Amino acid sequence: MAAQHTPALPVLGSRKPSHRERVADALRAALIAGELRPGEVYSAPGLATRFGVSATPVREAMLDLAKEGLVDTVPNKGFRVTAVSEQQLDEYTHIRALIEIPTTAGLARTADPVALEALRPVAREIVTSAAAGDLIAYVEADLRFHLGLLALAGNGHLVDVVRDLRRRSRLYGLTALVAQGRLEASAEEHLEILDALLARDEDAVRAVMARHLGHVRGLWAAP
């Protein structure tokens, strides 16, 4: 499976991301999906060829990721992907569950149906990416969907915290799920979340979100 493009990224706010930010988003998604593996050293020119962009924005983007602790710089060689322990992943997922499940469930009472429907194309994009086996597009669309939902709660700091936790997650089991033809069914849970929200069924939203986040350390985790 090749990652030869940097997909267009819809924006939560009004400002369009720079080319450097778009490349950084694609690299983060590759890290999360396991297309860039911990301990491996990657050069900017090599990544540029892989993603079909020039080396300069890749180098700049990797420096941004180094500041976030996602990669380490290796002088005269490139960047090494930092490892994340199982305990760290469990802790990240626990915090996400504490934040995302009740916040998303609460939207069943407060969210504007028009704003919820505006996220349906992103939910469908997740399903399409899963069916195509495009893990980078899948991870990017998944991030946009969930952050877009959380943004409807009106707490920007909460969105920032979850964005950081999601970027630090690792979903190495996605490749196997694609090979088994099982990722698309999991992706359809995003549409299920939207439908439950539009039905104003808070209990159903909570149940689907709990099942969905459970995949992070279950279905989506195993290498």
* Domain containing residue 185: CATH number: 1.20.120.530
| 165 and 189 part of one domain | yes
DSSP characters over 16-50: PPPHHHHHHHHHHHHHHHTSS-TT-EE-HHHHHHH
State the CATH number of the domain containing residue 45: 1.10.10.10
| 39 and 119 part of one domain | no
| 41 and 124 part of one domain | no
Start-to-end CA distance of the chain, whole Å, equals 16
Q: Are 70 and 82 in contact (CB under 8 A)?
A: yes
| 96 and 140 part of one domain | yes
Per-residue pLDDT of the chain (223 residues; tens, 9 = 90+): 334 443 333 334 444 667 888 898 889 988 888 888 888 899 999 999 988 889 999 999 999 999 988 899 999 899 999 988 889 988 999 999 999 999 999 999 999 999 999 999 999 999 999 999 898 899 999 999 999 999 999 999 999 999 999 988 887 777 778 778 788 888 999 999 999 999 999 999 999 999 998 887 766 555 5
Examine residue 221 and state whether it is found in any structural domain, yes or no. Answer: no
Examine residue 2 and state whether it is found in any structural domain, yes or no. Answer: no
User: Tell me, what DSSP letter sits at residue 1?
Assistant: -
| 52 and 114 part of one domain | no
**Last residue of a domain, which of 60, 81, 102?**
81
Q: Are 186 and 130 in contact (CB under 8 A)?
A: yes
| 164 and 96 part of one domain | yes
| 114 and 196 part of one domain | yes
**Last residue of a domain, which of 81, 99, 114?**
81
Q: At what angle do helices 189-198 and 135-151 cross, to 10 degrees?
A: 20
- Segment 113-120 long-range contacts (CB within 8 Å, at least 24 positions apart): 113/198, 115/152, 116/152, 116/194, 116/197, 116/198, 117/194, 117/198, 119/145, 119/148, 119/149, 119/194, 120/191, 120/194
| 107 and 208 part of one domain | yes
Q: Give the total number of structural domains in the chain.
A: 2
Examine residue 98 and state whether it is found in any structural domain, yes or no. Answer: yes
Q: What is the C-alpha separation between 135 and 142, in angstroms, rounded?
A: 10
| 97 and 58 part of one domain | no
Q: What is the C-alpha separation between 116 and 104, in angstroms, rounded?
A: 11
Q: Are 14 and 129 in contact (CB under 8 A)?
A: no
State the residue range of the domain holding 38. Answer: 19-81
